[in-house]
Structure 1
Amino acid sequence: MKGNNLLALHSLKEKYAGKVKLIYIDPPFNTEGDSFEYNDYFNHSTWLTFMKNRLEIAHTLLDSDGLIYIHLDFNEVHYLKILADEIFGRKNFLNEIIWCYQERETSKRFFNRKHDSILFYAKDKETDYTFNNELIREKYSEVTLKKFKYLDSEGRKYRLRTKDGKSDPAQEDDNTYRQYLDAQSGPLPRDWFMIPFLNQASSERVGFNTQKPEELIKKFILAGSNEGDIILDFFAGSGTTLSVAHKLNRKYIGIEQMDYIKDITVPRLFDVVNGIQTGISEDVNWQGGGSFVYAELMEKSKGYLDSVLEAENTDSLTQIYHLMLDNVDLDFRADLEAIQEMLNDGISLEDKKRLLVKVIDKNQLYYNYSEIDDANVRDLISDSDYAFNQSFYKEEEIDGQEDQ
């Protein structure tokens, strides 16, 4: 779904409240160099408010035994932990998972950073929430594998163990037993993963700077959900969560407001449907298939907001403002004459943009479903889009409706 993720989440509430089994999000880390394009000028308190609004509705969407993973780095993880404790309950915190990767810095003035943190919460820790530990068991180390040095008559590898399990004897006797390698599940999962970043030459890369490896997301989805469960990612980005969910036979909802959803995210999902062998495809024997629906929140004033932000000079901004006067719902408290005077003043272009952004009524960025039968709105949408909306909100069947 393309559109403002907060409004999109609220659009989902009526139909999906209490139905999402697992949420994974990789929100902006609020760093100066972050590639996050929603707003490069978040201050700390604004970022926390931004996250609070979205996590609150996410909590509503989660099933009673649902789980959420919040992926962050050192810049905000400690502040977000306090906020998440408030929303999900401190008692429902399960883990801080550490994703270790190769060093990305070469500082000689502090310890080089080489990990991200993923906060892991249950909506209610007392429920029988899903945690498929057997599906994410770790591989044995080379040291351990070397201990399985014996072969039986059928060619199965085993090691000798004393019955108290404390040592590996040199020879077999009445006090020993055989531990077969193929009968072992591997060590229980730990709260840190050593998974490399995607290198520039990786076939998995789709041209997105903060793209995460499918192998990482696979662990979260396998552990916390089962086939057919609904997975949600409302910072969909390059679509890694959606790609992995599709390959693991989960249902999924992805939300992204940036235009790259059309150039990166959606084409990637088409590749998944077509069985392109990247990421975890070989590991899970993915051969393609399935379908997905792509939808956009119907823009109302959002286009003017984008035009304001993209304006390159005052003349362009003034032209946009005059169009806004005729076509946009503005804040009723705005002094329109004063705004025109300020546009003519010598204040910076960025300050002028902030002024116009402030007076656009944010409740009118998109059309509300309640307006769908208004004559002026009905003329703007196709019969198929009208039927899709009726089906989505009223759960009616649509004859001949095909997934896109």
Structure 2
Amino acid sequence: MQNLQTDLIELLKNEDNLVVDNQLNKNKIIEAALKVEPFLIRLLIMNETFKRHFFQEVENVLVFDKIKFQRFVNNKSFLPDSYTAFKNKIGLAVNDDTTDNFIKAKNDVVLVWPHKDCVLEGGQTKEDQKRNEIFWNETLAPDSVDRLLDAKTFTNFKKYDKDGEHKVIEFKGDENLILKGNNLLVISSLLKTHRGKIKLIYIDPPYNTGNDDFNYNDSFNHSAWLTFIKNRLEIAKELLSPDGSIWINIDDYECHYLKVIADEVFKKENFVGSVVWQHSIQGKGYAGKFSLHHNYILCYSKSEQFSLGQMERTEKHNVNYKNPDNDPNGRWRSGDIRNALYRKNLIYDIKTPSGNIISPPSKGWRFSKDTMQEKIDKGQVYFNEDETKIAYKIYLKDQDGRVPETMWFADEVGTTRTANNEIKQLFGASVFDTPKPEKLLQRIIHIATNEKDIVLDFFAGSGTTASVAHKMNRKFVTTEQMDYVDTVTTERLKKVIEGEQGGISNDVNWQGGGSFVYAELMEYNQYFINKIQDAKSKEDILKVWEEMQAKAFISYQFDKDIFNKSLDAFKTASLETMQQYLIEVLDKNQLYVNFSEIEDTSFNVSEEDKVLNYSFYNKQ
């Protein structure tokens, strides 16, 4: 059987304006169908294929199903009765059982707004996996994702320490975790165990530059990427403790779009600052372009309870401290004595020793009137020679650290090349294009956390965040979907436990030790998606379909019987189209086994996994 739309083009190509440039003129055809024009009915009924699909015998009379035919002509897919008929439509629809009846002269209407589903993006890494992800750029009806973000079941539990690999017996609630699976579904599961407990989240997401794996089959690239990020930021916010913060590594391409979304999720007043990190000394220069040497790191707090930590002082940070007047308190520098925010009680005149009056700045002084006089008496606030201005002495002896700056230079925190050398030292080769140096994460973790705090990174990559957190005596949770989580991320953390001496190890006197638990999301429909994407031929796809019919959870909107009757037409499609269609009919709520369904025998969850899942969700 030929593709039905191709057959229809052939059937109608000689009719006036029904086929234009070898494409169906849908409006004209649908208008003729709704009017039951005799010429169209005659052409359709004379073709056995169309007669079988669009006519029904009633009392020996063939009745034309004009609604079914209209849906077929409107459908971008090649199959009739596809549940995807509503795709790419936004508008008012009548409240009945179909999805094609958009606003008409009826009273009961609802707004139907299918949305881009960027939550299911598979290859979330920007490293060179080069996996084609266009199938994930899918439009779902709002009720198609009702259980997508439920807590999931984990499997393949392993514990690693200095003595090697062990079976996991139970969870105590303080384990370091490496969790494999779609990162949105993993962090959604962590809401059940870690909500409000994470002190620091650092992420290095795909930058959407066209050089990474974030490839979409549409023209709304920024929009799709921002949906992908927004879904994750919303859950990240729920995971943060009240005094927690999130740090997001990004470059010029999406930085300003990201800032707008992050302002919305975390609130603009919780924006702490934008760090500029010199990731390269050489940079990349092109004719007519700037030579690129930096990334940005956007920092947001969960609430006003967040406190930015101090950085270490060295003598180079003290060069501005002098003691020209032999002040007994030692070296000092001048500080701004104006107030940053307007306060009525800080608006007052200051009388100098000679009787001059110094008026207050527009927002007032830094101290109350009594405190100001006390500091003047002690000499900590002093006047210039003509007594027209005052200044404030900041003593070196009072400085335990220094306020973090927003410019982070290569000689302080390292570069991408530094990070690649750290990876080569561990694995003998560079396994990532853009890893982050350990000193960069050391600075962030030092500023944003204390010992024993929990650090989360849900774009684990090579495992830098988890490695540095562990060396700095913090707890870590990290997640990654790609298979290198087994060969790189996990292996790196095993080397850390064994006492590897790269990165910041010497700085923190790292001697090894500790442990972590590895686990994976338990796949269900994801298993079939993997098989579909790995298919090399149409024969492979048809074998997957046979298995799907027996075991997969398929969308309730999809009719297997109608599909199987049209299987010959399905076989005429391209391999890519066949792959995309089978992925679309899978129920996305069942990609992985929901924890709430762990006792359902159809999922075959082992008794051992049941015990560990109950322990994990109850002890964390």
TM-score by length of 1: 0.82
Q: Give distance in 2, aligned partners of 1:160 and 1:45.
A: 53
Q: Offset at 1:335?
A: 4.2
Aligned partner of 1:173 in structure 2 is none
Which structure would you say has the larger RCO, counting Cα contacts within 8 Å and 6 or more residues apart?
Answer: 2
Q: Distance in 1 between matches of 2:457 and 2:288?
A: 37
Partner residue, 2:585: 359
Structure-1 separation of matches of 2:322 and 2:244: 42
Residue 497 of structure 2 corresponds to 273
Partner residue of 2:421 out of 189, 198, 202: 202
Secondary structure of the residue aligned to 1:231 is strand
Query: Which structure 2 segments of 5+ residues have no match?
Result: 1-178, 335-394
1:289 alignment partner in structure 2: 513
Match of 1:70 in 2: 248
How big is the shift at 1:109?
Answer: 1.0
Match of residue 189, structure 1, among 397, 400, 404 = 404
CA shift in 2, pair 1:130/1:322, >3 Å: same
1:327: Cα distance to partner?
A: 1.2
- Tell me, yes or no, if the aligned pair for 2:420 and 2:435 is still in contact at 8 Å: no
Decide which moves more: 302-311 or 267-276.
302-311
Counterpart secondary structure, 1:286: coil
- Counterpart pick for 2:567 among 340, 343, 354: 340
Matches within 5 A, 1:52-201: 52-102=230-280, 103-124=282-303, 126-127=304-305, 129-133=306-310, 136-137=311-312, 139=314, 141=316, 161-163=323-325, 165=332, 188-195=403-410, 196-199=415-418
1:257 aligns with 2:481: yes
Instruction: State the shift of 1:355 in Å.
Output: 1.5
* Superposed CA offset, 1:158-190 (max 9, x none): x963138569xxxxxxxxxxxx99997675421
Distance change >3 Å, CA 238–CA 382, structure 1 → 2:
farther
Task: Tell me if structure 2 keeps the 8 A contact 1:140–1:187.
Answer: no
CA gap of 1:59–1:184, structure 2 versus 1, over 3 A, is closer
Question: Counterparts of 1:201 and 1:111 in 2: how far apart (Å)?
Answer: 24
Kindly indicate whether the alpha-carbon contact (under 8 Å) linking 1:137 and 1:189 is maintained by their aligned counterparts in 2: no
The question of whether the paired residues in 2 share the 8 Å contact of 1:27 and 1:72 is answered with: yes
Q: Is the 8 A contact 2:416 2:434 kept in 1?
A: no
CA–CA separation in structure 1 for the residues paired with 2:571 and 2:308: 61
- 1:295 deviation in Å? 0.8
Letter in 1 for 2:268: R
The answer to whether 1:28 aligns with 2:206 is yes
Report the AA paired with residue 292 of structure 2. Answer: R
- Report how many residues are paired: 362
Instruction: Report how far residue 382 of structure 1 moved.
Output: 5.0
Change (3 A) 1:13 1:109: same
Q: Distance in 2 between matches of 1:166 and 1:283?
A: 30
Distance 1:75 1:359 in 2: 34
Give the superposition deviation at 1:364.
0.4
3-state secondary structure, aligned to 2:249:
strand
Between the aligned partners of 1:269 and 1:386, the Cα distance in structure 2 is: 27
Give the drift of 1:65.
1.3
TM alignment of 1:298-337, pairs within 5 A = 298-336=522-560, 337=562
Q: What is the letter of the counterpart of residue 416 of structure 2?
A: F
Q: Tell me if the contact between 2:458 and 2:479 (Cα under 8 Å) persists in the aligned partners.
A: yes
SS of 1:269's equivalent? helix
What CA distance in whole angstroms lies between the structure 1 residues aligned with 2:484 and 2:185? 19
Report the more deviating stretch, 270-279 or 181-190.
181-190
Residue 332 of structure 1: how far off its partner (Å): 1.6
Q: What is the CA–CA distance in structure 2 between the aligned matches of 1:342 and 1:292, rounded to whole Å?
A: 51
Q: 1:58-110 deviations in whole A, cap 9, x for unaligned?
A: 11111111100011111111111111111000010010111113233121211
Equivalent position of 1:368 in the other structure:
594
Partners of 2:333 and 2:506 lie apart in 1 by 38
CA contact (8 A) 1:130 1:225 kept: no
1:341 shift after superposition: 4.6
Partner of 2:186, secondary structure, is helix
Task: Provide the secondary structure at the position in 2 that maps to 1:31.
Answer: coil
User: What is the alpha-carbon distance in structure 2 between the residues aligned to residue 184 and residue 395 of structure 1?
Assistant: 42
- Map Cα deviations across residues 17-45 of structure 1 (whole Å, 9 max, x no partner): 111111000111012112x4xx4337222
Q: 1:235 to 1:203 in 2, by over 3 A?
A: closer
Contact persistence 1:22–1:66 (CA under 8 A): yes
- The equivalent of 1:4 in structure 2 is 182
How far apart are the structure 2 equivalents of 1:95 and 1:138? 21
Describe the shift of the 1:90–1:340 C-alpha distance in structure 2 as closer, same or farther (beyond 3 A). Answer: farther
Q: Which amino acid aligns with 1:381?
A: S
Does the Cα contact within 8 Å between 1:97 and 1:117 map onto a contact in 2?
A: yes
Matched residues in 1 for 2:265 and 2:531: separation?
35
Corresponding residue number in structure 2 for 1:177:
none
Q: Give yes or no for contact 2:419–2:437 (8 Å, CA) kept in 1.
A: no
For 1:389 and 1:81, how far apart are their aligned partners in 2? 37
**Mapped partners of 1:303, 1:90: distance in 2:** 41
Query: In the TM superposition, what whole-angstrom CA distance separates every residue of 1:248-278 from its partner, at most 9, and x where no partner exists?
Result: 1111110111111000000100011111111
Q: Greater CA deviation, 82-91 or 101-110?
A: 101-110
Unaligned ranges ≥5, structure 1: 149-158, 168-179, 397-404
State the secondary structure of the residue aligned to 2:506: coil
Q: Which amino acid aligns with 1:285?
A: N
Question: Retained in 2: the 8 A contact 1:140–1:186?
Answer: no
Name the SS of the counterpart of 2:476 in structure 1: strand
Bigger radius of gyration? 2
Aligned-pair identity in percent equals 42
Q: Deviations over 1:285-334 (max 9, x none)?
A: 11001111111111111111111122222222222122112111111212
Which TM-score applies when normalising by structure 2?
0.55
Give a deviation string over 1:130-169, Cα, whole Å, max 9, x none.
4221xx336555xx79x79xxxxxxxxxx963138569xx
Supply the distance in 2 between the matched residues of 1:22 and 1:186 (Cα, whole angstroms): 21
CA distance in 2, matches of 1:350, 1:190: 50
